[in-house]
Structure 1
């Protein structure tokens, strides 16, 4: 009896495998000549040779197989091409994590904002709510950046998470926000659109926040005991806005400072290296040629930091830090889109060049230095 049940189970599994293969085999044979099929658990291995350029095989297969709940990977091992097909496991988003991090970031930025208004929270903790204007401003800047990425990724059918805000005890109360991409990038146009959406929208909101902040009266602040004060270097774009609104003061309102932060974040994100937004945009514009510029960027930043420290006697360690950061992450390389042969249109190329120019307008040699 037991043997009969076991034989029936094996026959059913064999039938299921044959059915799975029959559903996807016509799609595979269009681009891949199969000479052997193996199975391990739920994973199917198709051994063969590509009928088209190997770089385009996954691009041709991803969409029809994804519709059937399957993912595909092409590997070349020991002289053989292997298509690996496996079920895609759906990951249930834990929205409560995003919400909890957002609430925590509201409080950390509000505390920093209250300090900017000169509030002594140790003697009157309820005055923390005076930091709300800075909280609204900084979260608008950072949140708009990530939500632009999210919206554009969804538009192109990419799978991505909602933004994760990162509360952290920095002088702005946060390390920014990130979103997680799942699955491959469809093509270079999608890579460009997703990469450039964040910096463009984030910078637009930064400009708006800066204009609002420059029209507000900066609070008269007496530095708290044992507090560390910074003097910020103003990038050309910020100075242009100051002249536009007729700002002549020396102190910045915390809301205007949030606009400055947005510009600095835009600059860092637009560095054309690795998997930063600028790296995505450049990879989409130049294809694999972008790897050369990406590898040069850490060296350029290191030279800038060296120049600031030893020639200007300023604080240039931020650039040395970013040089080391990019050296570590740019070496990994940039993942290729599924359809890497599709080049960008002239409109996108123009927008890309224009955006990098905006990024340069957010640059200053010495972003900030402590006041002693």
Structure 2
């Protein structure tokens, strides 16, 4: 316990106009300033945050043992060590997408032929990686602490559940919130278009006769978003073949995944990318708009179930309606500086949502058989 903070931490006098400190403690690498606020919480946070950041600290107002306290922790920088967890998940996802990709190429995943699925793996992980790299680069640009991407292996149709980065600390302003939120979808969408175009010009995959003629075969039909349909139209390439012995090149599915993930991430709720963008565009109004989103997803699911022979697609939107409800309940990110965006960012935000709409598919996947 001490009356004064460490030499590298701000003195209580630097923010005494908004927080009257009566005790300072150091514990577990954090500096705790116990005191009484003399203004509202939003003004307090806006005032003390830049003071502490200039000294290399992140700060949050908390309650400890019934007392209000400013908890200041050193702003984390890259340790320079090997990110073993990120690397392990990357390798695991590489293997899972390679294994699943072998089925897209109709080869034995337990033989050297599995390497034929490398283009699929590179396409899927490349699109996901570019998306997360967009978030990561803009996080570093705005000096927001962020981890490297964590890829998520999963034994699904694509071998992965996507990738995420983890952000710590507070968001400095709306500009940072917007840039970080929009950079991922925009970068990932560019990658998805490029990957989809490459896949469309690659030769189709031959479907073995035993698969075509099997009475127990289950057909998985994919809907294609307007954006991918437009790319195919520009290139003059088909997205499906009338010949059942031919299937589109699996690399196309890397573009499909990127576009579908872009749409899902741009759902404007909570701490999804779309939630970040909406919050930065309209401020606190985002919290009133967000509850409409899960309602819309449940309505879409009900419509598909009642009017369309696509019951499993309805299940997809029920699941996302539940997820949207959860992230809506968790709330959106509150930036320290809540001043509105400039017109250029507003225009980019509207464009981002418009591009996301071009990735929408009412029936993304349908199982027939």
Q: Same fold (TM over 0.5)?
A: yes
Structure richer in helix, relative to its length: 1
Tell me the CA shift for residue 101 of structure 1: 1.1
Maintained 8 Å contact 2:12/2:21 = no
Given that 2:21 and 2:33 are in contact with CA atoms closer than 8 Å, whether structure 1 keeps it comes out as no
Contact 2:10 2:51 (C-alpha < 8 Å) held by counterparts: no
Q: CA offsets, 1:115-163, max 9 Å, x none? A: 10111335xx111101001011111110000011000000000111100
Whole-angstrom distance in 1 between the partners of 2:260 and 2:197 = 16
- CA distance in structure 2 between the partners assigned to 1:173 and 1:345 by the alignment: 40
The match for 1:8 is none
2:151 equivalent to 1:165: yes
Of 308, 325, 350, the match for 1:327: 325
3-state DSSP of counterpart to 1:177: strand
CA contact (8 A) 1:219 1:253 kept: yes
Aligned mates of 1:277, 1:331 — CA distance in 2: 16
Deviation at 1:90, TM superposition (A): 5.0
Q: Does 1:95 align with 2:70?
A: no
The structural deviation recorded for 1:76 is 7.6
* TM-score using structure 1 length: 0.87
Distance 1:26 1:310, change over 3 A: same
Any conservation in 1 of the 2:270–2:333 contact (CA below 8 Å)?
A: no
For residue 338 of structure 1, the aligned residue among 336, 339, 346 is 336
| Native 8 Å contact 1:228 1:371 kept in 2 | yes
Unaligned runs of 5+ in 2: 242-246
Aligned CA distance change for structure 1 residues 355 and 23 (closer, same or farther; 3 Å): closer
Q: 2:294 aligns with which of 281, 298, 304?
A: 298
Mapped to 1, the partners of 2:109 and 2:36 lie a distance apart of: 68
Supply the distance in 2 between the matched residues of 1:60 and 1:282 (Cα, whole angstroms): 25
Kindly tell me: are residues 44 and 99 of structure 1, through their superposed partners in 2, closer, same or farther at Cα, counting changes over 3 Å?
closer
The CA distance in 2 between the partners of 1:101 and 1:265, in whole Å, is 19
Structure 2 residue aligned with 1:37: 23
Equivalent residue number for residue 3 of structure 1: none
CA distance in 1, matches of 2:10, 2:340: 32
- What displacement does 1:81 show? 8.5
- Structure 2 counterpart of 1:73: 60
Displacement of 1:75: 4.7
Gaps of 5+ in 1: 1-12
> For residues 258 and 71 of structure 2, what CA distance do their matches in structure 1 show?
43
Match of 1:281 in 2: 277
1: CA distance, partners of 2:253 / 2:36? 59
Aligned partner of 1:369 in structure 2 is 366
Q: For the residues of structure 1 that align with 2:44 and 2:281, how far apart are their CA atoms?
A: 22
Aligned residue number for residue 44 of structure 2:
57
SS at match of 2:291: helix
**Are the counterparts in 2 of residues 56 and 338 from structure 1 also a CA contact under 8 Å?**
no
Aligned pair 1:235/2:221, yes or no? Answer: no
CA RMSD between the two structures: 2.5
Deviation at 1:69, TM superposition (A): 4.7
- How big is the shift at 1:39? 4.2
Change (3 A) 1:346 1:309: same
TM-score with structure 2 length normalisation?
A: 0.88
TM-superposition CA deviations, 1:304-325 (whole Å, max 9, x none): 0110111112131100110011
Superposed, which structure 2 residues align to 1:161-240 within 5 Å?
A: 161-222=147-208, 223=211, 228-240=218-230
Partner Cα distance (2:297, 2:162) in 1: 21
CA deviations over 1:187-213 (Å, ceiling 9, x no partner):
011000000000001001100111111
Within a 5 Å distance, the mapping from 1:114-133 to structure 2 comes to 114-121=102-109, 125-133=111-119
Q: Counterpart in 2 of 1:261?
A: 257
What is residue 142 of structure 1 aligned with on the other side? 128
Change (3 A) 1:257 1:38: closer
Give me the whole-angstrom Cα distance separating, in 1, the residues matched to 2:71 and 2:279: 28
How far apart, in 2, do the equivalents of 1:219 and 1:282 lie?
41
Deviation at 1:94, TM superposition (A): 5.5
